[in-house]
Structure 1
Amino acid sequence: MAANLSHEVAAPGLGGPLLGNRDFDFLREFVLAHCGIALSEQKRQLVQGRLLRRLRALGLKDFSAYCELLRRDPDAEMGDLASAISTNVTSFFRESHHYDLLEQTLLPQWLAEKRRSGGRLRIWSAGCSTGEEPYALAMVLAEALEKHAPGVDAKILATDLSPQALAGAREGVYPVDKLGGVSAERRRRWFLRGEGSYAGLACVHPRLRELVAIQPLNLLHEWPMSGVFDAIFCRNVVIYFDKPTKERLFRRYAGKLVPEGYLFLGHSESMHGLNDDFALVGRTVYRKKPA
């Protein structure tokens, strides 16, 4: 019985309450329904340790009180909950072959077409975390615009569920030692080095900010965007989702891409057996099939 009463037993080595069966079962169902993330029994200790920080931040005495908060107002805590149970690991130009494909092939083609037609170019960074991905995309896009089509209307939408991650992306300030994937030339051009109390930090160039719109979005909820995208980057995001959620998400992505638009996944992710709307055309690169 004590296992169901999370406030009665201290979490071993964590200095806090134990996550009991009843509360963990609720959290598993809640997270699956609202975030599409499937938590196994093996994740209990991880969830307990990470959510203890939320309990302390909110001044709650136990996990039952936290679960009650989620029942009362799920939207208010959704981003912080998702941040706590997922791992935001990202870097500039991670999986560089995707950026090479954009720079060398796709952007020159797209921009030539947009210049002729007067159309817009749109890229979506879905699950943008702290901003490294969309700002890396913005570097490549800014350079391509200068070279191929300065007048084309081009923008990057960057979305994430985590308020903390979005705050970091909006700030656009990174430790210099986190710029390892950025070439020396791009560092000089696209970052402003901090001085004095800001020494050791680098801020993204205002031009990159102009190209990137940062917005909160839960991928499982309604999408407010009315237009379509030439490419969607959703890398190292669906790895957390169960199969039905992945299937629904891939169908929705297909509906938000232009004909023969591109979807980029992470290195450990695959669409195999989950969707027939796309064809694999490169390493974790998928193109929407013609209608």
Structure 2
Amino acid sequence: MAHVSATVYTSHVPAIGAALDHGRAAEPYWAAVFAGYEASRAWLREDPPDAIVLVFNDHATAFGPDLVPTFAIGTGESYAPADEGWGARPVPVVQGHPELAAHIAQSVIQDDFDLTLVNRMDVDHGLTVPLSLLFGQPPAHDFRWPCPVIPLAVNVVQYPVPSGRRCLALGRAIRKAIESYGEDLNVQVWGTGGMSHQLQGPRAGLINPVFDHAFMDMLTTVPEAAAAIPHVDYVREAGSEGIELVMWLVARGAMPERADGRAPTCVHRFYHVPASNTALGHLVLTP
């Protein structure tokens, strides 16, 4: 049967994609960011996944203000990089896994989560930047990403947004679905977005390392405590866009529980300020 072998967490700062796309990764400002992912890239090369469920939020490219699904799963065969106003990123088309995606949708919907099924959409930096960070920057014309990716979009743009508890429970339902899939697959679940940042208003540029580190601690050892954080605390402590961290809870819920009740193994942890005008966080957890 399929199994969840690891969960990966990372910010998806759009300026990171721009730095890669324009050959600026070696500049001192950006080199420190990319150096923090070297250990995870090496780990991935040693144990590559057969498929990834990647939790991200759309930034008004696939879903506009007229249609805002709370949870949406990509069930298509492929997803092109989106044009976010300055041209599509020069990275490969993302290959989907329609069979596994359909199985997850069937299982999760029967567990009372109302997923929107999306057979066709473009994917923006929320999905492609994490792939570039963990797999490196491939040439678009002659390269495929190393494995299929199932996009799972979560609304953290238009209130009301789902609670942390609901996101953690969704992750557990996704793990159950994956573990009931009949093919022997090594599946990873990635949670993206965050960390503390605010893009507008009097607090634009807000970064709160104390909150960010506390969140990563809780996520690793006591995810129920992280899931109990109310939305107002994200806004107060982590800025208006800090709410993206609820997507990390979907990935954490997908982590298999250890028989002895202990926390998962932290393979790598990285935190950096600033990356553009945000705090950047990254974790790799294995059972």
Q: TM-score, normalised by structure 1?
A: 0.31
Higher relative contact order by CA 8 Å / sep ≥ 6: 1 or 2? Answer: 2
The structure whose residues are more often helix, as a share, is: 1
Q: TM-score, normalised by structure 2?
A: 0.31
Q: Which has the larger radius of gyration?
A: 1
